């Protein structure tokens, strides 16, 4: 095979130094193969683009050494039924997942969701999903009053911040915001509350105070996407390579906010019904959008059901109740009728609202149900393992391969 040798330019040497972190001292520039120069520069450009898509330099370096030469890394930007839009740092393509991945998913492997990092093969098919930094999960919709959902739904993966979006109209509901915060905390993500449609009120300070009273330590911002007020305060969260997911009900103003942050209309918007005060599902898919700031925004359809899936996080959503609970006379106090209950005393003094305590009880009941189901599932799994092992031993005895 013929190898073309050419002299590298100063610009190419500078690019190679930037990519590899090394200066080619003692190396005659004319002795570098043309293909090696082009591959190095192309690979480095791809890695830098992947970092712009949210991949940390450490992860990029690690996974580039783990995957096969004919494979490449990419990030899922959109999901369309059985097809996935992925960006490999050079191009965005639509690709299916391999049959092997579908089979592996049935056995517990991760299935691609928006925000996931995946490995694609030479045939441009997704062969596997990389371990997630975190994932925003909820119980699948359509539960209709059951204790808890039986299947999970991945809203988004590998997120730096979650914007909990609530409109200052009929959408404003403290109990719903509490549920959103618990959902975010249980998934190991960082929440920020955005109160949209601030232009509907002359003074939004009472709303801010109400939310701050239930969202301890969580940043709360009042904004108007129409009037472009309060948008600049979101800049610290919209850093290059950072991924932000939007969470909120239909009509909360998520699509309008996306358009305001993008500086152009990339999402359709519709008016909220003046009769029932509810929005419609203008956004029907999940998309990862790159903003001019370099930040990555995951827009999600509106949520009408907030079903939990993970079990930890209630302490972060209701820190004052957990703090009071440590002062109760009994360590297993249910905070209902026991003597010496600090939580009930706080309600009686007016330090804790009855509505917030009721919200705590409701969420705790749901999370306890999930935890019990997890424990039961683990117990059944151990039982099945024991039955399988006993069956294998019995087979071996019959075959005479094992002494009695």
User: Is the confidence at residue 356, as pLDDT, over 90?
Assistant: no
Q: Considering the chain, what is the average pLDDT of its residues?
A: 77
pLDDT at 146 over 70: no
Mean pLDDT of 131-141: 78
pLDDT at residue 86 above 70? yes
Indicate whether 14 pLDDT > 60: no
Predicted confidence (pLDDT) at residue 324 exceeds the cutoff of 50: yes
Q: Indicate the pTM of the whole model.
A: 0.68
Query: Minimal CA–CA distance to 74: which of 40, 124, 135?
Result: 124
CA dist 49 → 39, 54, 90, 91, 126 (Å) = 15, 9, 7, 10, 19
Does residue 258 carry a pLDDT above 80? yes
Lowest mean pLDDT, pick from 91-95, 104-108, 304-308, 321-325: 304-308
Q: Is 180 exposed, middle or buried (0-12, 13-18, 19+ CB in 10 A)?
A: buried
pLDDT score of 11? 54
Amino acid 204: pLDDT: 94
48: closest CA among 8, 86, 21? 21
Residue 116 has pLDDT above 90, yes or no: yes
Contact 162, 245 (CB under 8 A): yes
Of the ranges 179-193, 225-239, 315-329, the best mean pLDDT one: 225-239
* Rg over CA atoms, the chain: 26
pLDDT at 48: 80
Q: What percent of the chain has pLDDT over 90?
A: 26
Per-residue confidence (pLDDT) for residue 337, from 0 to 100: 83
Tokens matching residue 32: 């570098």
Gap between the Cα atoms of 214 and 345, Å rounded: 19
Q: Is the pLDDT of residue 310 over 70?
A: no
* Residue 394: per-residue pLDDT: 66
pLDDT level of residue 365 (50, 70, 90 thresholds): confident
| Closest alpha carbon to 113 in 280, 298, 331 | 298
Return the pLDDT at 387.
62
């Amino acid at each position: 095979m013929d190898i073309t040798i050419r002299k590298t330019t100063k610009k190419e040497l500078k690019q190679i130094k930037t990519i590899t972190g090394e200066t080619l001292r003692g190396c005659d520039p004319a002795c570098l193969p043309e293909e090696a120069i082009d591959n190095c520069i192309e690979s480095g450009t791809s890695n830098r683009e992947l970092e712009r898509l949210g991949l940390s330099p450490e992860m990029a370096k690690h996974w580039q050494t783990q995957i096969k030469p004919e494979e490449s890394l990419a990030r899922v930007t959109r999901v369309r039924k059985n097809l996935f839009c992925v960006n490999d740092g050079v191009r965005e393509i639509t690709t299916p997942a391999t049959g092997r991945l579908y089979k592996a998913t049935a056995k517990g492997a991760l299935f691609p969701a928006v925000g996931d990092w995946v490995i694609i093969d030479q045939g441009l098919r997704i062969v596997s999903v990389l371990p997630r930094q975190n994932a925003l999960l909820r119980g699948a919709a359509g539960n209709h009053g059951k204790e808890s959902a039986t299947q999970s739904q991945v809203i988004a993966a590998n997120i730096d911040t979650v914007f909990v979006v609530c409109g200052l109209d009929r959408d404003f509901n403290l109990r719903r915001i509490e549920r959103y915060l618990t959902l975010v905390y249980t998934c190991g993500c960082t929440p920020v509350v955005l109160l949209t449609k601030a232009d509907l009120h002359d003074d939004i300070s009472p709303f801010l105070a109400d939310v701050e009273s239930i969202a301890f330590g969580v940043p709360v911002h009042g904004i108007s996407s129409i009037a472009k007020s309060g948008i600049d305060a979101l800049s610290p969260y919209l850093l290059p390579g950072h991924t932000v997911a939007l969470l909120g009900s239909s009509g909360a103003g998520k699509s309008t906010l996306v358009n305001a942050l993008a500086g152009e209309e990339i999402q359709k918007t519709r008016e909220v019904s003046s009769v029932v005060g509810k929005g419609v599902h203008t956004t029907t898919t999940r998309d990862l959008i790159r903003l001019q700031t370099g930040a990555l925004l995951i827009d999600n359809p509106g949520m009408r059901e907030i079903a939990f899936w993970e079990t930890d996080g209630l302490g972060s959503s209701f820190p004052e109740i957990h703090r009071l609970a440590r002062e109760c006379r009994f360590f297993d106090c249910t905070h209902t009728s026991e003597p010496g209950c600090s939580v009930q005393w706080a309600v009686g003094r007016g330090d804790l609202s009855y509505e917030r305590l009721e919200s705590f009880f409701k969420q705790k009941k749901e999370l306890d149900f999930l935890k019990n189901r997890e424990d039961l599932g683990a117990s059944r799994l151990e039982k099945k393992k024991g039955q399988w092992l006993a069956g294998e031993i019995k087979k071996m005895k019959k075959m005479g391969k094992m002494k009695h």
